[in-house]
Amino acid sequence: MTARAVRAGISQWLEHAVLLVAFGALVYYVTRAVPEVQGRLWTIAAIGLLLLAGTLTSELTAPLGLPHLTGYLFAGIACGPHGLRLLTEQTVRSLSPANTLALSLIALAGGAELELAAVRKWARGLAWAMLVQTALVLLAVTGAFLAVRPLIPFARVLAPGAALGVALCWGALAVTRSPSATLAILSQTRANGPLATFTLAFVMVSDVVVVVLVATVLGVARPLIDSSTSFAFDSFVSLGHELFGSVALGTTLGLVIAAYLRLVNRQMLVVLLVLGFGVSTVLDYLQFDALLTFMVAGLVVRNLSQQGHKFIHHIEQTGTVVYVVFFAIAGADLDIPLLRNLWPVALLLAAARAVTSWVGARVASHVAADPPVLRTWAWSGLVSQAGLTIGLTLVVAREFPSIGPPFRALAIATVAINEMIGPILFKLALDRGGETSQERTTGLPSIRPPAPG
Amino acid sequence: MNTVALLVGLLVLSYLGSFWITRRTAGGVGLPSGVEYAALGLVLGPQALDLVAAKDLTAFEPVVQVAVGWLAFGTGLDFGFAAERRVSPSRVALASLGAIATGGAVATATWLVIGCLHMDVTRSERLLLAGGIAAACSQTTRHAVGWVAEHLRTQGGLADTLDDLAHSDVLFPLLAVAFLFALGGTRATVVRIPWLDGPLVTTGLGVGLGAGAALLLRSEMPVEDTWAMLFGPALLVIGIAARLGLSTLTASFFMGLALSRLSRHGPELRAMVSPTERPVLLPALLLAGARLDFGSTGSWPWIAAAAIGARVAATILVGWVIAAGSRSARAGGPLVGLSLMSSGALSMCIGMAFALRFPGTVGDTVLVVTVLSATVGEFVGPARLRRSLLLAGEIDYTAARASPMPKTVRA
C-alpha cells in the first residue's frame, strides 16, 4: 500500500469518526432537549440512527480486524438504554418488527446459500460433527453448569434433581448456534472454501436438531424440576406438527418464490418485505418455526430450481441494511448491567461451551478425516450465539416460571459474551484459513467515482 | 382490518405502483397526483366502508411520515434538474416567484373566505389554514411536462421552459410549511422554537444531515452500503424533525437538496431514489384518502372553491408573466399558465403533513382542499399543456391526434 493510500485511509477514518460523533451529538442533544416524546416516530429515527452508527462503527473498527458485526453490536450498545440512552427500552422493544423482518431475510439467505451438492461433499464430516457436538456440548455444559452451581444463586438452592433438570436445559441451549452471525460474517468476507461451507451447513442444520433437542430436554427436565408433572409425549406431537408444518410451508414458499423469479423477477425487494412481514405473521399464528420455514424456502429456491443465483443476488442487495439493523438492535438490547453482575459465572459457562466445542470439533474432524483447515478451525464458527438462543431461553423460562427470570438473565449474559467473541473468532479463522475474499465487495459501477477527466 | 393485513395490503399496492413506473411510458395508467388512490382510501376508510379503521390510521402514522419525508427527500435530490439538465438560476427564480404569487393569491382568498364564513377558528388557526392550503396549491408536479413531452415526442422552447419551472417551484411551499409548523404549538411540540427560527433550524437540520451523508458517500462503496447511508440520515432527519415539532417535509427536502449539490454522485443518487417514489407514494396516498374527513367543517366547499379559483386565476397571471419574457411561451396562447395546474405528490404530501401535524379542523380542511385542487388540476393541466404545445407548434398535429389524451404523468 502506498503512503498516499495510507494517508487517504487515515483521512477517511478520521472523517467517519468525526461524522459519527457529530450524528451522535445531534441525537444526544435532541433526546435531552425533548425527553418526554417517545412516539412511534422515534422508532423510525432509531432505525436511521442504528444504521448510521452501525455502519460507521464497523468502518472504524475494521482496521483492528474486527468483523463488521462487532461494530454493529458496539454501536447498538453505545446508542442503547445502557449506553448513551439515545434509545430507550421502549424504543428498542418497538423495533421488534424490524427484527422479525431482518431475521426472515437472514434465514432466507441462509437457505439460499446452502448448495446441496457442496453439502453432500462434506456430509460425512457434517454428520460426525453434528453427532459429537450435540452430545458432547449437551453433556459437558450440563456438567459445567452443575459444577459452577454453588456460584449461581438461583441454582444453589435447588434440590439435586431439579438442579440436574435446569442444567440439562442449559446444556440444550448451549447446543444452539447463531445462523445470523455466521451469515453476517460470510456476507462481509465473501468467504469461500471448506470452512465457510461447512460452518454454514452445520449451523443451518443444527437449527432443526436444536428444536428437537430442546423439546426432548424440556420433556425430560419437566418432572425433574416440578415433581408434580411427568414425562409427556404430547409435546412431541406438537413438535412434529411444528417441524413438518414448517418444512411443508417452507417448501411451498420456496416454490412460489422460484416461480415468481422465473415468471416475473421484478421488485423483489417489495416481495421480500411482504414475505418478511406477512408470512412471519402467518407462521406466528400457526406456531411454526419461522427460521426453519424461511431457511427451507431459501434452500428450495437454490437447489430445486434454476433461480438460485438470481435469488441470492436479490437477497444480497438487502444485506448490509438487514445485518446492521439486526445486530445493532441486538446490541441495544444487551443488558449490560446484568452482564456486569453475572459476568464471572457467565464467562465460566461460555468458556466451558467454547472449550467443549473445540474438543468436539477436533474429535469429529479426526473421525471424519476432514481437511486440515476444518481440523484447526471448524470450532470457531460454532461459538456465536444470538437471537435463536434468546428465543429458546424464553421458551424455557415460560416452561419453568419458578426459575425463569434468573435463568433467562444468566442465559442472556452468556449469550452476550458469545455474541461478542464468536464472530471475531470466526472471522479470524476465515482470514487464517485463507478463505476470505481478497476483493472488496463489488460496488455498482454507477456509484463508483467518476473517472478522472 | 388487522394491522398486519393492512400493512401487507399497502405493500402489495406499493408493489403494483413500482410496476406502473416502468409501464408508464408505454401507455400509462393512473393520474399525476395519484388522487385515485386517495379516493380508494376514502372508500376503504372510516368515512365509507371502514375497512381501514381510525386506529389503523393512527398505527400507520409513522409509515406515512416516513413516506412523506422520503418523497420530499427525492424532490430535494431532483430540485433544479429537469431530466439531468440543470435548470438555470433565472428559471428557478421565476418558478419560485410564480409559486409565491400563486400561494399568495390562494392564501389571501382562503383567508378572506374564512373571515366571510365566520368560521369558529382562532387567528392562528386561520393563518395555518390559509397558509397550509396555499402551500399545497402553489406547486406543479415535477414530471407533468416531461411525460407529455416524451409521450407526444415534443421538442421546443415551451416544453423546456414549462419543464424547468415545474422542476424548481417547490422552494416556497416547503419554506412556508416550515414557517407554519413553527407557528403551531401542538401535542408534539415540547421544545419551543421561536417561529422565526423554526425554518432556520429545519433547513439547517436538513442541510447538515445532507452534508454529512454527502461526506459519507464520498468513498467508493457497494450499493447496499449506499442504501444504508441514504436510509440512515433520511430516517434520522424525519425522526428528529418530528420530535422537535418541525416540518419533516422541509427538513427532508433540504437534506436531499444538500446531498444532490454536495455529492459528486448526484446523478447516480437521483437514479437510485427516483424509482422508489411511486412505490412509496401509493400507500401514503391511500392512507391520506382514508384520513379524508369531509365532516370536520361544513365550510370546506366554499374554502375549496375560493382556493381553487384563486389558483386558476394566479396561474393564468403567472403564464402571462412567463409569456412576457419568452417568445415560445407566448406562442402557447393566453392560457399557457394553466399548463402548470397539475399538482402532484408533493402537494398531497403537504396536505397529509398538515393532517398529521394539526389534526382537527385545520389539518382535515387542508387535506380535503388539497385533494380537490389536485383533482381539478388533473382535468385542466394536462389538457391545457397539450393544447399550448400544439399552438406553439412543438408537437405534430397528426401524432397528437393519434395519441390518446395524456392523462398520465409521473407523480
Cα gap A279→A250, rounded to integer Å: 10
Q: Give the pLDDT score at A237.
A: 78
Buried/exposed code over B163-172 (b: 16+ C-beta within 10 A; e: otherwise): bbbbbbbbbb
The percentage of chain A sitting over the pLDDT mark of 70, rounded to a whole number, equals 93
Is the pLDDT assigned to residue B94 strictly greater than 70?
Answer: yes
Cα dihedral sign, A417-A418-A421-A424: negative
Cα gap B254→A441, rounded to integer Å: 31
What structural domains does chain A harbor? 3-94 (no CATH), 99-432 (1.20.1530.20)
Is A267–B240 a contact, with Cβ atoms under 8 angstroms apart? no
The percentage of chain B sitting over the pLDDT mark of 70, rounded to a whole number, equals 83
Distance of CA A297 to the CA centre of its chain: 18
Is B235–A40 a contact, with Cβ atoms under 8 angstroms apart? no
Task: State the nearest Cα–Cα gap between A133 and chain B, in angstroms.
Answer: 36
Q: Which residues of B fall within a CB distance of 8 Å from A35?
A: 190
Whole-complex ipTM: 0.83
A452 at interface of B, judged by CB pairs closer than 8 A: no
Task: State the nearest Cα–Cα gap between B299 and chain A, in angstroms.
Answer: 32
| Pairs of CB atoms within 8 A across A/B | 161
Is B231–A274 a contact, with Cβ atoms under 8 angstroms apart? no
DSSP code at position B32: S
Cα gap A366→A388, rounded to integer Å: 29
Q: Give the pLDDT score at B192.
A: 65
Is the pLDDT assigned to residue A133 strictly greater than 70?
Answer: yes
B234 at interface of A, judged by CB pairs closer than 8 A: yes
Q: Give the pLDDT score at B28.
A: 44
Cα gap A345→A364, rounded to integer Å: 28
Higher pLDDT, A387 or B159: B159
A4 at interface of B, judged by CB pairs closer than 8 A: no
Q: Quick one: closest CA in B to A271, which residue?
A: B15
Name the least confident of A271-275, A448-452, B160-164, B193-197: A448-452
Higher pLDDT, B197 or A188: A188
Task: State the nearest Cα–Cα gap between B326 and chain A, in angstroms.
Answer: 36
pLDDT digits (tens, 9 = 90+) for B318-332: 999 988 888 888 888
- Grade residue A158 by pLDDT with cuts at 50, 70 and 90: confident
A357: enclosing H helix or E strand: helix A336-368
Is the pLDDT assigned to residue B22 strictly greater than 50?
Answer: no
* Beta-carbon contacts of residue A51 (< 8 Å; ≥ 6 apart): A321, A324, A325, A328, B228, B231, B232, B235
Is the pLDDT assigned to residue A401 strictly greater than 90?
Answer: no
Q: Quick one: closest CA in A to B214, which residue?
A: A19
- Grade residue B127 by pLDDT with cuts at 50, 70 and 90: very high
Q: Which residues of A fall within a CB distance of 8 Å from B239?
A: 41-42, 44-46, 48-49
Is A43–B233 a contact, with Cβ atoms under 8 angstroms apart? no
Which CATH number fits the domain B3-17+35-395, given the four candidates 2.40.50, 3.30.1490, 3.40.50, 1.20.1530?
A: 1.20.1530
**Grid-cell match 425522526, residue found:** B239
Of B18, B240, B268, the CB nearest to A447: B268
Is B212–A23 a contact, with Cβ atoms under 8 angstroms apart? yes
pLDDT digits (tens, 9 = 90+) for B274-321: 888 777 887 888 888 888 888 777 788 899 999 999 999 999 999 999
Is the pLDDT assigned to residue A450 strictly greater than 50?
Answer: no
- Grade residue B199 by pLDDT with cuts at 50, 70 and 90: confident
Task: State the nearest Cα–Cα gap between B335 and chain A, in angstroms.
Answer: 41
Q: Give the pLDDT score at B186.
A: 45
The percentage of chain B sitting over the pLDDT mark of 90, rounded to a whole number, equals 27
Q: Which residues of B fall within a CB distance of 8 Å from A448?
A: 220
Task: State the nearest Cα–Cα gap between B221 and chain A, in angstroms.
Answer: 6
For residue A431, which amino acid is it? D
pLDDT digits (tens, 9 = 90+) for B213-257: 998 888 767 667 788 888 899 999 999 988 888 899 999 999 999
Task: Tell me the mean pLDDT in the region A216-241.
Answer: 77
Of B191, B218, B219, the CB nearest to A33: B191
Higher pLDDT, B24 or A378: A378
Q: Give the pLDDT score at A156.
A: 85
Q: Which residues of A fall within a CB distance of 8 Å from B217?
A: 447
- In order of B95, B138, B313, the CA distances from B131 in angstroms are 19, 10, 18
B18 at interface of A, judged by CB pairs closer than 8 A: yes
Distance of CA A73 to the CA centre of its chain: 12
pLDDT digits (tens, 9 = 90+) for B108-117: 999 999 989 8
* Beta-carbon contacts of residue A287 (< 8 Å; ≥ 6 apart): A238, A242
Is A270–B216 a contact, with Cβ atoms under 8 angstroms apart? no
Is the pLDDT assigned to residue A181 strictly greater than 70?
Answer: yes
Task: Tell me the mean pLDDT in the region A73-94.
Answer: 88
Is the pLDDT assigned to residue B209 strictly greater than 80?
Answer: yes
Scan residues 278-337 of B and list those with Cβ closer than 8 Å to A.
279
Q: Which residues of B fall within a CB distance of 8 Å from A447?
A: 217, 220-223, 226, 265, 268, 272
